[in-house]
Amino acid sequence: MRSRIWDLGVGILGALLLCAPALAAQDGNGDKNVVNRPLATREELEAAKERAGATQLAARIQTRLTDGDFHRGDRIALMVQAESTLTDTFVVGSRAELILPPPTTGSLSLKGVLRSELESKLTEYIARFRNNPIVRAQPLLRLSVQGEVAKAGIYAVPADAQIADALMAAGGTTQFAKANQVSIERNGKSFWRGSAFDTDLDALGLQDGDQIVVGSNRPGGSDNLRVAALIVSIAGGLYGLSRAIH
């Protein structure tokens, strides 16, 4: 009996040792996901930094904690109940400041502020000018939406939205769209493929400038479409050249 128990204990210990590298890798990947999430909280980032130790990942996390998430040109959708002048989309200034119209005065610095802290920060600021304000603040991500959508282009989408919301901002998908074949690209490289439904932008760690591409089910395929577009482009160039010669 003792030998069986000993063998069982050794087997369990061996399994744990074999799983340890995989578990460590999962923890590391989890921390990378946290630092990339637009709506990560300060507590989550600090915990990930502590686990990362003296690594480049820890340095990245510290930079985000110190500098915050907001930069020049970022957009914020603000809604303050019963305050029409404060219900609009506002743009962050060159020094990471936000200047709001009356009844507020001056500017609010967003230096060091995370997206997850934006609403509480703005509520605290507006409360200096209005008693008990009801504030809803959404940080927006600028994303390129391409492929089989009605109006391809760049759109500002709430960081807590889903991929489907980004597609709706582009007028929705066309009849040839493959809604279960959506890819997300960064710097020309795809890093995620999946369905447009029930997928959060925050969970995927999307950043400003990322591109969402909806797959196509058009007859002839996307390669033929690209060839046709190239032919049209060449034809247009030749026509312009002929007019210039004449």
DSSP 175-243: TTEEEEEEEEEETTEEEEEE-SSS-BHHHHT--TT-EEEEEE--TTHHHHHHHHHHHHHHHHHHHHHHH
List, for residues 171-207, the tens digit of each pLDDT value. Answer: 999 999 998 999 999 999 999 999 988 789 999 999 9
Top-tier CATH class for 140-222 = alpha beta
| 156: DSSP letter | E
pLDDT band at 29 (very low <50, low <70, confident <90, very high): low
**pLDDT at 39 > cutoff 60:** yes
Kindly report each contact of residues 130-138 with a partner whose C-beta sits within 8 Å and lies 24 or more positions away, as own/partner: 130/80, 130/83, 130/103, 133/80, 133/81, 133/83, 134/80, 134/81, 134/82, 135/78, 135/79, 135/80, 135/81, 136/78, 136/79, 136/80, 137/76, 137/77, 137/78, 137/79, 138/76, 138/77, 138/78
pLDDT of res. 219: 86
pLDDT of res. 136: 98
Rama region for 106: left / alpha / beta (φ>0; ψ in -120 to 50; rest) = left
pLDDT of res. 23: 36
Residue 25 burial (CB count, 10 A):
10
Instruction: Please tell me which residue, 179 or 136, carries the higher pLDDT value.
Output: 136
Q: Angle at CA 188, nearest 5°, toward 76 and 223?
A: 120
pLDDT of res. 179: 86
**What is the average per-residue pLDDT within 129-155?**
97
pLDDT band at 30 (very low <50, low <70, confident <90, very high): low
* Residue with tokens 């489907």, as numbered in its chain: 164
**What is the average per-residue pLDDT within 108-136?**
97
Of 164, 167, 69, residue with least CA distance to 118: 69
Domain limits of the chain?
Answer: 2-66, 75-133, 140-222
pLDDT band at 230 (very low <50, low <70, confident <90, very high): very low
Most confident of 24-28, 83-87, 192-196: 83-87
**pLDDT at 34 > cutoff 70:** yes
pLDDT of res. 134: 97
**pLDDT at 54 > cutoff 50:** yes
